[in-house]
Amino acid sequence: MHPNNKITFIINGQLRKINELQDKIILNFSDEFEIDFKITLKPKDAIILAQNAVSAGTNFLIAIGGDGTLHEVVNGLMNCSKEKRNNVAVGILPSGSGNDFARTIQINSELKSLYNLIKKNFSHSIDVGKVEVSNFENTREIKYFINIAEVGLGADVVRRVNSGSKILNPTLNFFKSSLFAFFSYKKQRLKVLSDNFHYSGDVLVLCFANGKYFGSGLQIAPHAKIDDGKLALFLAGNVSLFDYLKNLINIRKGYKIMHPQIQYSEVSSCIVESDSTSLVEADGELLGKLPAKFSILPNEILFLTKSGTNDNSVG
């Protein structure tokens, strides 16, 4: 067997029919690849599982789940040395709810597509976002994101989802949380500082985007690119909820919104401060609160994508 053929699949333990999925993977991959399955049992499990797999010398690290699972896998990878990371290609088999990064890179949920990406080793160097944030124990912490980090309305939605009823299914819980947030959220007064972008005032939504989508298909950052060494910035300042809701269809279609209180920009790093408690989320995971520094790490990891070439192949 080729020495660069080890695949570790990290599976969200809340997915249905995991045994059936494992059987299909074995059927499609086991003749040519060494396969290892790791199944999460609780939040943050995928961070440790990914870190251990990279340390053990896996060549491909595949997240099976949504943006939250991929977020944890990327953070586990980033906890390893650069030398170790250079020998691993990350991929995703989108499953469950919330697959916004997969939308950006146009990855579907078919095993055949994933097999072709791995077989041909279509790995592409992409950027990773970095957040230096105050966690809920009031200590500074570094976290990474692959899709979008946000301050404002979306972070409040994530807070409500996390504290919502476990009786509801995830989709219904997200819808309920979004509805309550839309009608009860009060805009935060923020100070946003970077080399080329300055803002001080009320903010409804502030996004730092590596990928284009968030909120299950809202193309909030149509100007985002995963390999340009920049974070795409979207800021909705003193915008009414009515105006925001009115433009959701255009946002979903990827149109830039023409509004005096909506701004688009690009930054390589940015500091965000607030006089009040303002939450920070990334990839649908609540990270902590302001103040925070958002930055981009160019060409930081290898990712399996259709647009990739094996110029950056593992091994």
Is residue 226 domain-resident?
yes
| CATH number reported for the structural domain that contains residue 219 in this entry | 2.60.200.40
Is residue 116 domain-resident?
no
Whether residue 232 sits in one domain with residue 151? yes
Range of the domain at 152: 129-299
CA atoms within 13 A on the CB side of 99: 17
CA angle at 12 for the pair 66 and 210, rounded to the nearest 5°: 30
Rounded CA separation 147/289 (Å): 19
Whether residue 214 sits in one domain with residue 82? no
Other beta carbons less than 10 A from residue 31's beta carbon: 8
Whether residue 231 sits in one domain with residue 158? yes
The token duo for 243 is 């105006």
Mean per-residue pLDDT for 240-259?
Answer: 88
Q: pLDDT by residue (tens digit) across 36-77?
A: 999 999 999 999 999 999 999 999 999 999 999 999 999 999
Whether residue 25 sits in one domain with residue 166? no
| CATH number reported for the structural domain that contains residue 13 in this entry | 3.40.50.10330
Is residue 182 domain-resident?
yes
Among 96, 112, 143, the domain boundary falls at 96
Is residue 77 domain-resident?
yes
Whether residue 196 sits in one domain with residue 252? yes
Tally of domains in the chain: 2
Whether residue 282 sits in one domain with residue 153? yes
CA atoms within 13 A on the CB side of 87: 16
Closest CA to 77 of 100, 95, 54: 54
Q: pLDDT by residue (tens digit) across 153-192?
A: 888 877 766 665 555 555 555 556 566 666 667 888 999 9
Mean per-residue pLDDT for 257-281?
Answer: 95
The token duo for 80 is 């390893």
Whether residue 161 sits in one domain with residue 78? no
Whether residue 236 sits in one domain with residue 159? yes
Is residue 235 domain-resident?
yes
Q: What is the pTM of this model?
A: 0.90
